[in-house]
Amino acid sequence: MNKILTLFLVIISIIGCKNNNQSVEKTPKLDVEASKKDKNMPAFGIVIHGGAGTIRRKNMSDSLEKAYRLKLEEAISVGHTVLSNGGTALEAVTKTINVLEDSPLFNAGKGAVFTHDETNELDASIMDGATLNAGAVAGVTKIKNPINLALSVMNDSPHVMLYGKGAEEFAKLQGFKWVDTSYFYTKRRFKSIKKAKRKEKKKRRKEKLTFQDFDNFQDPFFNDTKFGTVGCVALDKNGNLAAGTSTGGMTNKRWNRIGDSPVIGAGTYANNKTCAISCTGWGEYFIRGVVAHDISAMMEYKGVTLEDAAKEVIQNKLTKMGGTGGIIAIDKDGNIAMEFNTAGMYRATMNAKGELNIAIFGKDK
């Protein structure tokens, strides 16, 4: 009897251990299924920038840094909501840039810098990666949100770029309301132009510089006058890419100077085969290097990753030319790049899971 009882207990024990082992093995299988579910979720994401330049923590108050971070979060959240609700990349880019254009913190729209004549001249461009259609405006002075007008040029005209008074007349025909030029006045930017002109006059008198010499003059203050742009790139749930850029241009610019921001392929580019890119920096060099398109071309023709292409173009090609600035980009698979060769760049990312990352200074992650 004791032998039978012992044998029975052994059998029960073996069965129990087998069941326990089976239950342990099921857990990773459930994790795998969950992982598969995440992979099947449509990839989408959004990246923004608010300009690159000599941006150092020691030169920024805690309150100002907080203001920048809050505005970057507000802007990218607007675009992310559009994408998460199934909206298009073009819509996300436009609405996101609107938030940045309406803020006096950034050199675009409301916060645009002043020209040498103490006026504001605004540029913007947008591109659809699905169709390679694009729209741009340059030198507008009465349009509150230039990125919206660039979108209208793309959708409602047979052209890609419109300039100045012609662009504003087109805007009126499309129902845009002009704003008084005083809308773009900010005390901070007006103070900057006055300071720039004083330093320019002093420097030219002292060293007898020509305008060309002065343009090439390397000085930390004047270097910063060449930066300041806002931009956004996005990938929507349908796999379409879009990019947009908006700027007030260069402080103290003359002769209706136009930088890279409204130039498709230089400051803005999007192609569903590769990536979407928005640039910020010393525009003349971005135009000469056709920076935005160059990154896309390296991916398409050489098969390199977005990260490697961005690094090669910004850290090698652009830097060797003497250009400074940076780019934000997202590729067709949702991978992102934020490459710059300056001390800092206002930037933020948000992926399909809603994970938000905001950075300003060079070593920020």
Sequential DSSP letters for 50-111: EEEES--GGGS-HHHHHHHHHHHHHHHHHHHHHHHTT--HHHHHHHHHHHHHT-TTSSSGGG
User: What confidence tens digit (pLDDT) does each residue in 122-131 have?
Assistant: 999 999 999 9
pLDDT of residue 59: 84
Query: Taking residues 229-256, what's their average pLDDT?
Result: 97
According to DSSP, residue 209 is labeled -
> Are residues 33 and 51 both part of a single domain?
no
User: What confidence tens digit (pLDDT) does each residue in 45-84 have?
Assistant: 999 999 998 788 888 899 999 999 999 999 999 999 999 9
> Are residues 172 and 32 both part of a single domain?
no
Which amino acid does the sequence have at 346? Y
Q: Are 53 and 224 in contact (CB under 8 A)?
A: yes
* pLDDT higher than threshold 90 for residue 214: no
Cα–Cα distances in angstroms (integers) from residue 248 to residues 107, 131, 221, in the given order? 5, 28, 17
Whole-model pTM?
0.84
> Are residues 61 and 79 both part of a single domain?
yes
> Are residues 8 and 62 both part of a single domain?
no
Q: What is the CATH number of the domain that holds 256?
A: 3.60.20.30
Instruction: Work out whether the CA dihedral 293, 298, 300, 301 comes out positive or negative.
Output: positive
- Return the active site residues: 229
Distance CA 162, CA 183 (A): 22
Q: Are 86 and 237 in contact (CB under 8 A)?
A: yes
Mean pLDDT of the chain: 86
> Are residues 104 and 240 both part of a single domain?
yes
Into how many domains does the chain fold? 2
> Are residues 29 and 147 both part of a single domain?
no
> Are residues 14 and 90 both part of a single domain?
no
pLDDT of residue 39: 59
pLDDT of residue 231: 98
> Are residues 17 and 121 both part of a single domain?
no
158 is in which domain, residue-wise?
45-361
Name the burial class of residue 18, with classes exposed (0-12), middle (13-18) and buried (19+) by CB atoms within 10 angstroms of its CB: exposed
Task: Name the band, by pLDDT with cuts 50, 70 and 90, for residue 23.
Answer: very low
* pLDDT higher than threshold 50 for residue 174: yes
> Are residues 189 and 281 both part of a single domain?
yes
Which has the closest alpha carbon to 323: 283, 296, 264, 266? 283
* pLDDT higher than threshold 50 for residue 35: no
pLDDT of residue 60: 87
CA terminus-to-terminus distance, the chain: 72
Which has the closest alpha carbon to 361: 64, 58, 48? 58
Task: Name the band, by pLDDT with cuts 50, 70 and 90, for residue 22.
Answer: very low
* pLDDT higher than threshold 80 for residue 34: no
Regarding predicted confidence, which is higher, 221 or 99?
Answer: 99
Alpha helices in 102-219 (DSSP H): 146-156, 164-173, 187-207, 211-216
User: Which stretches of 14-166 are assigned E, i.e. beta strand?
Assistant: 45-53, 122-128, 134-140, 161-163
Q: Are 121 and 253 in contact (CB under 8 A)?
A: yes
> Are residues 236 and 96 both part of a single domain?
yes
Which amino acid does the sequence have at 281? G
pLDDT of residue 362: 87
Which has the closest alpha carbon to 44: 264, 252, 276, 247? 276
User: What confidence tens digit (pLDDT) does each residue in 117-173 have?
Assistant: 999 999 999 999 999 999 999 999 999 999 999 999 999 999 999 999 999 999 999
Q: Which of the residue ranges 10-24, 111-125, 280-294, 325-339 would you say has the lowest mean pLDDT?
A: 10-24
User: What confidence tens digit (pLDDT) does each residue in 254-279 have?
Assistant: 999 999 999 999 999 999 999 999 99
> Are residues 33 and 55 both part of a single domain?
no
| Strands 134-140 and 161-163, sheet pairing | parallel
> Are residues 10 and 156 both part of a single domain?
no
